[in-house]
Amino acid sequence: MTQRDLSPQETVIASISNAITFMMGAGSKIAMREAGKQASTSVWPELPSNASFEDAGRIMHDGIAALEGFGDFRLTSQNEDGSYSIEFRDCAFAQFTPHSGQPCGQQAICYFGFGLVEETLYRLTGKKVQVKLIERDEACGVCHEQAIPR
């Protein structure tokens, strides 16, 4: 994966995330996941309800693309167990991972993203989920995540 230059806004967000991750460790998970959930209603005050998997995927793809730094979001499948498979491709914040001392998926900004996706999916589909990183493919710059029903 080739790294691109971050915008000043992305650099500030990544620096804040690193500081929170470094200073709060595991405590950053709860706070940042909640911040992501709150951001969903602030960023997208009006969303349709009862959206189909395809509509939810399109709405979230377009909405997250408008936020700087998170890369290309895709709902890739709706699984038999009710979970959703997710890909975040080319997230700019992943290149800051080595500076925080925590792996990708354990960063404060990752938990913000998990909360943002959880709340937005809930608002769109009415289904409560918990998002987690399954694996990070560094070579391709893709975070494979899963949204598991709660």
CATH number reported for the structural domain that contains residue 132 in this entry: 3.30.1380.20
Helices (H), 25-106: 27-43, 53-65, 97-100
Q: Is residue 146 over pLDDT 60?
A: yes
Answer whether residue 124 is part of any domain. Answer: yes
Q: With pLDDT > 70 as the criterion, what percentage of the chain qualifies? A: 92
Tokens for 84, please give them: 């959703």
143 contacts 6 by C-beta, under 8 angstroms: no
Average per-residue pLDDT for the chain: 88
Answer whether residue 81 is part of any domain. Answer: yes
Answer whether residue 24 is part of any domain. Answer: yes
Alpha-carbon gap, residue 57 to 124, rounded angstroms? 10
Task: List, for residues 76-101, the tens digit of each pLDDT value.
Answer: 999 999 999 999 998 888 877 766 66
Alpha-carbon gap, residue 125 to 21, rounded angstroms? 31
Task: List, for residues 2-56, the tens digit of each pLDDT value.
Answer: 566 777 777 777 777 777 777 776 677 888 899 999 999 999 999 999 999 999 9
* pTM metric for this prediction: 0.86
Answer whether residue 79 is part of any domain. Answer: yes
63-69 mean pLDDT:
88
Q: Is residue 116 over pLDDT 90?
A: yes
Answer whether residue 2 is part of any domain. Answer: no
Answer whether residue 3 is part of any domain. Answer: no
pLDDT number for residue 100: 64
Answer whether residue 1 is part of any domain. Answer: no
Confidence of residue 136 (pLDDT cuts 50, 70, 90): very high
Q: How many domains does the chain have?
A: 1
pLDDT number for residue 7: 76
- Supply the range of the domain harboring residue 37: 8-149
Answer whether residue 94 is part of any domain. Answer: yes
pLDDT number for residue 108: 83
pLDDT number for residue 2: 54
